[in-house]
Copies of this chain bind each other. A is one copy, B any other.
Amino acid sequence: MSMRIGLEHVEDLARGAAILGTGGGGDPYLGGLMLRQALQDGRTVELIDVEALAVDDFVVPFAMMGAPTVLLEKIPSGAEMLAALRTTERFAGRPVRALLCAEIGGVNALLPLVLGARCGLPVVDGDGMGRAFPQLQMTTYHICGVPAGPMVMADEHASTVLIDTREAAELERLARNMVVAMGGSSSVCLYAMDGGAAQRSLVRGTISLALGLGRVVREARRGSSDPFAALLAYLRGTEYYQHCRILFAGKVADLLRETAGGWAQGRVVVEGLGSWAGRSVTVQFQNEHLVAREGERVLAIVPDLIALLDSATAEPITTDGLKYGQRITMLGISAAPIMRTPAALAVFGPAAFGLADPFTPLEQLG
């Protein structure tokens, strides 16, 4: 499978990525603007299957690191992305054959396509999270033994910083420090690997998935049919995400949101409407939604996906965008099997976020 991504795909992709962002991952509006600019004048970027890579092809994930709020005020020009890529190639002593996506949830879904359009490299269909997560090591690349470093960061002056260390915690510490010195957001290349490693570690097909999710919502709106029914029907036809259901629907009755430890932390209480009237569900978040509970009963829990959508339009809502009184429909979606292994759960399961609940697959709950 190979397809060309053009201007006509940007809106669907941005919306689908925001659904998979599960409340976090930054605002895909910005990524959409950047991708639109990169694809103007009929330019396209090739989306390829990971099986199309040779096992010794050099491939590298590209992303932005830092505060999404800063990114909004300091929009990357593209020069810093290219600088990060060139420094990665120079240190490795070989050219990059294709770009990977680190995080399909939110703005980072779109940026590898922006860079691919600018430098003519294809982008592999898939990512390292199958959703959004807040930390560098929370990837299937890490779980499958791909080292995060040498990691390259670039700022808006196209200055690059390469960090080469064996310790993942040291990498996170030095890089987090450098993001601050670079003004709060940086372009990064990390988890550079060969095609064989990408084939072992990728959450496959997630760029196509985001495209599809965005498309069915658009088509349902145009046909005035139920976008939620369309989303569930689409997900049930996929390989990984087929376990899915509407967890709850209602209006936002209470909201606690604070910036603590560098994260957007808090919880939102939703009071039921319609067939859910008289009931109440609380969603706890740390950048992304972690767990949805009705009283003590868990409805869905990380790494399974909890997406909050506007009940009227099925437009995804980030934790930043939550407001008192909003009508919300809550979707639960099963994570890919590669994200539910014991090794994966040790890195981004409930305990990694300080939750006492064990992981229970969505299909065994409710």
Contact = CB atoms under 8 A, between A and B. Distances in A.
A167 interface: yes
Nearest to A91: B91
A303 B140 CA distance: 56
A181 B181 CA distance: 11
A162 B164 CA distance: 8
B181 A174 contact: yes
A159 B174 CA distance: 10
A170 B159 contact: yes
Contact of A161 (B90, B93, B163, B166): B163
A87 interface: yes
A91 B162 contact: yes
A165 B159 contact: yes
Contacts of A159: 163-167, 170-171, 174
A173 interface: yes
Interface in A307-333: none
Nearest to A149: B159
Contacts of A222: none
A177 interface: yes
A103 to B, nearest CB: 24
A90 B165 CA distance: 15
Given A90-B91, A91-B90, A91-B91, A174 B178 contact: yes
Given A90-B91, A177-B178, A178-B177, A165 B170 contact: no
Contacts of A170: 157, 159
Nearest to A162: B162
Contacts of A165: 157, 159-160
A87 B92 CA distance: 11
Interface residues of A, number: 23
Contacts of A166: 157, 159
Interface in A122-178: 157, 159-167, 170-171, 173-174, 177-178
A170 B181 CA distance: 10
Interface in A75-106: 87, 90-91, 93
Interface in A40-97: 87, 90-91, 93
Interface string A20-51: 00000000000000000000000000000000
Contacts of A87: 162, 164
A163 B174 CA distance: 13
Contacts of A160: 162-165
Contact of A181 (B157, B164, B173): B173
25 contacts: A87-B162, A87-B164, A90-B91, A90-B93, A91-B91, A91-B162, A93-B93, A157-B165, A157-B166, A157-B170, A159-B163, A159-B164, A159-B165, A159-B166, A159-B174, A160-B163, A161-B161, A161-B162, A161-B163, A161-B178, A162-B164, A174-B181, A174-B182, A177-B177, A177-B178
Given A157-B166, A157-B167, 16 more contacts: A87-B162, A90-B93, A93-B93, A159-B166, A159-B171, A160-B165, A161-B164, A161-B174, A162-B164, A173-B181, A174-B178, A174-B181, A174-B182, A177-B180, A178-B178, A178-B181
Interface of A: 87, 90-91, 93, 157, 159-167, 170-171, 173-174, 177-178, 180-182
Q: Top 9 A-B pairs ranked by shortest CB distance? A: A159-B165, A162-B162, A177-B181, A160-B164, A161-B163, A91-B91, A159-B170, A174-B181, A157-B170
